[in-house]
Amino acid sequence: MTPFRFERAGYVAEAVRAGALPSAKFLGGGTNLVDLMRETIERPEVLVDVTALDREIVASENGGLRIGAAARNTAVAEHRLVRDGYPVLTRAIVAGASAQIRNMATVAGNLLQRTRCTYFYDTEGSRCNKREPGQGCDALGGFNRIHAILGASEACVATHPSDMAVALAALDAVVHLRGASGERSVPLTEFYRLPGDSPDIETVLAPGELIIAIELPPLPFAAHSTYRKVRDRASYAFALVSVAAAIEVEDARIKDVRLAFGGVSHKPWRAFAAEAALRGKPANEASFAAAIDAELAEARPLKDNGFKIELARRVTIATLTELTGERA
Amino acid sequence: MPITINGREVAAPADPRVSLLDLLREDLHLPGTKKGCNQGACGACTVLVDGERILSCLALAVQFEGRSVTTIEGIGTPGALHPLQQAFVKHDGFQCGYCTPGQICSAIAMVEEVRRGVPSHVTGDLGAETIALSRDELRERMSGNLCRCGAHNGIVDAIEHAFAGVSA
């Protein structure tokens, strides 16, 4: 691990001031960053501990929910307002990592965790444009079973590893940011970038900008939502494919729906095309199949990950069937 | 501000790169907490911080000033085993024993999470106020602690017997 200076931020302005140095990084629970520093993939010269900042989870005046950036993943998952109003978020969080890691990890840190692409981690033997821009991508022609089928580029085929962010993408979450030039808010679906020619730049965060809170807008039918994750073992593994879904059915027709996928792209993939195809249609398997096919029309398989297309299709249909079935 | 470790106050390391795990093992000579993968994948380094289970390998020690850390050395001694340690012996909850301190610390905090009503991946009803510690719940909640000897069945038996009847 490269030596660094450790600083503790007691309030947001202090964090933003300390984080303004070009070589500074913010530290949450450390569950990803400490590992990346040990691997020398991340080499900050200043580490600004922001875990003492806002961690409150409170109902907003408009009926939504505001989650402080330093809230631990467990605290969000177990919160009564989340379990009752946004069960997809609780389900997504407890589908990720282990209890120990969820106790440590913050919400902002979860959003900013980096890919688990094995070529990204292989500092000794692999080329990676995300780790070393311009170097090339060994995953593209390598063993790419876990890689992206949507929105990838020649430069990068990595996926985003978060489960929580997939639920937040489905829920129209807004990310509140504070930087040297003030405060701004970005919808989570616009917070992440597709890799394009610069996969090392993963979000729209300006240098030194700090996530201060996540806001969930009111979405009454999100009380009827869930998260389904398919992985290589029953627990404690990253998603091959995951689906976050919320649906509102009226007179056997789909009145409104939110759908997002994990494990398939460089970012949590909000399925806008599928949602548009579903609205107004009968709540049955034929509608679900047509909608997912519309979304996956632009999917591009690599050598080893073509199975993800059929898997995403099946998991989506199963999830929507579960939400609209008799148990609903 | 010092870090309290098993009731004893200790100064945080001068070098912020030192993990909580290395502070325990190398500086304080508390080798009960084990270094398995050192990258958050195995759970062998699990300790309790203010009663909550965390991975000490991914934790920078300086972040724990003012907090109270409990390691396996603070849970039981050879002459006075914790009831869960006794249950691990009785139910063959280990072979080589390397993952055991992490398993014990993890399970002690896991039971508190169930009492508190924290849901897991296999919890059916998120609206329920109480969660019963079924075998499925127990296995899912302990999935962050790997045992490469394959003693998982004994581990589940031991935890189940030591904490029989626990629910939220």
Q: 3-state SS of A211-268?
A: EEEEEECCCHHHHCEEEEEECCCCCCCCCCEEEEEEEEEECCEEEEEEEEEECCECCC
As a whole number of angstroms, the distance between CA A236 and CA A124 comes to: 26
Distance from CA of B97 to the nearest CA of A (A): 20
Q: pLDDT tens digits for A182-229?
A: 999 999 999 999 999 999 999 999 999 999 999 999 999 999 999 999
For A8, list phi and psi in degrees, rounded to 5: -110, 130
pLDDT at residue A81, as a whole number: 97
A56 and A68 in contact (C-beta within 8 Å)?
A: yes
The two three-digit tokens of residue A290, written as one number: 């047509």
DSSP state of B51: T
Nearest one of A64, A102, A68 to A81, comparing CA atoms: A64
Helix axes B83-90, B152-162, angle to 10 degrees: 140
- The verdict on residue A320 lying in a domain is yes
Q: Do B39 and A35 touch (CB under 8 A)?
A: yes
Interface of A with B (CB under 8 A): 1, 3-6, 27, 29-31, 34-35, 38, 47, 49, 51, 74, 77-78, 83-84, 87, 90-91, 94-95, 97-101, 103-104, 234-236
As a whole number of angstroms, the distance between CA A270 and CA B106 comes to: 36
The two three-digit tokens of residue A5, written as one number: 């200076």
Q: Do B19 and A34 touch (CB under 8 A)?
A: yes
Coil, helix or strand at residue A282: strand
pLDDT at residue A297, as a whole number: 97
pLDDT at residue B168, as a whole number: 52
- The verdict on residue A186 lying in a domain is no
pLDDT at residue B113, as a whole number: 97
As a whole number of angstroms, the distance between CA A141 and CA A59 comes to: 48
Average pLDDT over residues A254-271: 98
CATH top-level class of B83-162: mainly alpha
Residue of chain A whose Cα is closest to the Cα of B103: A100
Measure the CA dihedral A99/A105/A106/A109, to 10°: -140
Q: Do A100 and B106 touch (CB under 8 A)?
A: yes
* Percent residues over pLDDT 90 in chain B: 95
As a whole number of angstroms, the distance between CA A87 and CA A92 comes to: 8
Q: pLDDT tens digits for B96-112?
A: 999 999 999 999 999 99
We report the CATH number of the domain holding residue A314 as 3.30.390.50
A233 and A255 in contact (C-beta within 8 Å)?
A: no
Which residues in chain B have their CB less than 8 angstroms from residue A29's CB? 58
Q: pLDDT tens digits for A84-138?
A: 999 999 999 999 999 999 999 999 999 999 999 999 999 999 999 999 999 999 9
As a whole number of angstroms, the distance between CA B144 and CA B151 comes to: 14
pLDDT at residue A326, as a whole number: 58
* Exposed / middle / buried, residue A237 (Cβ in 10 Å: 0-12, 13-18, 19+): middle
- The verdict on residue A81 lying in a domain is no
The two three-digit tokens of residue B116, written as one number: 């508190």
- The verdict on residue A317 lying in a domain is yes
pLDDT at A236 over 80: yes
Average pLDDT score, chain A: 97
pLDDT at A144 over 70: yes
Which residues in chain A have their CB less than 8 angstroms from residue B121's CB? 91, 94-95, 235
Report strand pairing: A174-179 vs A182-187: antiparallel
* Exposed / middle / buried, residue B130 (Cβ in 10 Å: 0-12, 13-18, 19+): exposed
pLDDT at A327 over 70: no
3-state secondary structure B115-127: HHCCCCCCCCCCC
As a whole number of angstroms, the distance between CA A269 and CA B167 comes to: 37
- The verdict on residue A18 lying in a domain is yes
Measure the CA dihedral A264/A268/A272/A275, to 10°: 80
- The verdict on residue A56 lying in a domain is no
3-state secondary structure A1-25: CCCCEEEECCCHHHHHHHHCCCCEE
Average pLDDT over residues A1-23: 97
Residue of chain B whose Cα is closest to the Cα of A73: B118
Which residues in chain A have their CB less than 8 angstroms from residue B40's CB? 31, 35, 101
B142 and B107 in contact (C-beta within 8 Å)?
A: yes
- The verdict on residue A66 lying in a domain is no
DSSP state of A106: B
Which residues in chain A have their CB less than 8 angstroms from residue B140's CB? 234-235
Q: pLDDT tens digits for B59-101?
A: 999 999 999 999 999 999 999 999 999 999 999 999 999 999 9
We report the CATH number of the domain holding residue A11 as 3.30.43.10
Which residues in chain A have their CB less than 8 angstroms from residue B116's CB? 78
Q: Which of B46, B60, B119 sits opposite A77 (nearest CB)?
A: B119
Domain ranges of chain B: 3-74, 83-162
Interface size, chain A vs chain B, as Cβ–Cβ contacts under 8 Å: 95
Number of structural domains found in chain A: 2
Taking every pair of Cα atoms in chain A, the longest distance, rounded to a whole number of angstroms, is: 62
Coil, helix or strand at residue A210: strand
Q: pLDDT tens digits for B9-59?
A: 999 999 999 999 999 999 999 999 999 999 999 999 999 999 999 999 999
Distance from CA of B53 to the nearest CA of A (A): 5
Q: Do A103 and B54 touch (CB under 8 A)?
A: yes
CA Rg value for chain B: 16
As a whole number of angstroms, the distance between CA A30 and CA B70 comes to: 20
* DSSP run (H or E) holding B11: none
pLDDT at A17 over 50: yes
Q: Do B121 and A1 touch (CB under 8 A)?
A: no
**What's the distance, CA B16 to chain centroid?**
24
pLDDT at residue B167, as a whole number: 63
pLDDT tier, A328 (very low <50, low <70, confident <90, very high otherwise): very low
- Interface probe, candidates A43, A50, A91, A98, chain B, greatest B C-beta count within 10 A: A98
Measure the CA dihedral A91/A98/A119/A34, to 10°: 120
B56 and B24 in contact (C-beta within 8 Å)?
A: yes
pLDDT at residue A308, as a whole number: 98
- The model's pTM is 0.98
Average pLDDT over residues A282-286: 97
Distance from CA of B20 to the nearest CA of A (A): 12
Average pLDDT over residues A62-68: 97
Which residues in chain B have their CB less than 8 angstroms from residue A77's CB? 118-119
Q: Which of A29, A94, A104 sits opposite B120 (nearest CB)?
A: A94
Q: Which of A1, A47, A78 sits opposite B118 (nearest CB)?
A: A78
| CA dist list (Å): B18 to A286, B3, B15, B72 | 56, 13, 6, 20
As a whole number of angstroms, the distance between CA B136 and CA A182 comes to: 48
CATH top-level class of B3-74: alpha beta
A138 and A126 in contact (C-beta within 8 Å)?
A: yes
pLDDT at residue B129, as a whole number: 84
Nearest one of B41, B53, B68 to B116, comparing CA atoms: B53
pLDDT at B118 over 60: yes
- The verdict on residue A251 lying in a domain is yes
pLDDT tier, A33 (very low <50, low <70, confident <90, very high otherwise): very high
pLDDT at A68 over 70: yes
- Interface probe, candidates B15, B45, B126, chain A, greatest A C-beta count within 10 A: B126
* Percent residues over pLDDT 90 in chain A: 99
Parent domain of A16 = 5-51
Q: Say whether the ipTM exceeds 0.95.
A: yes
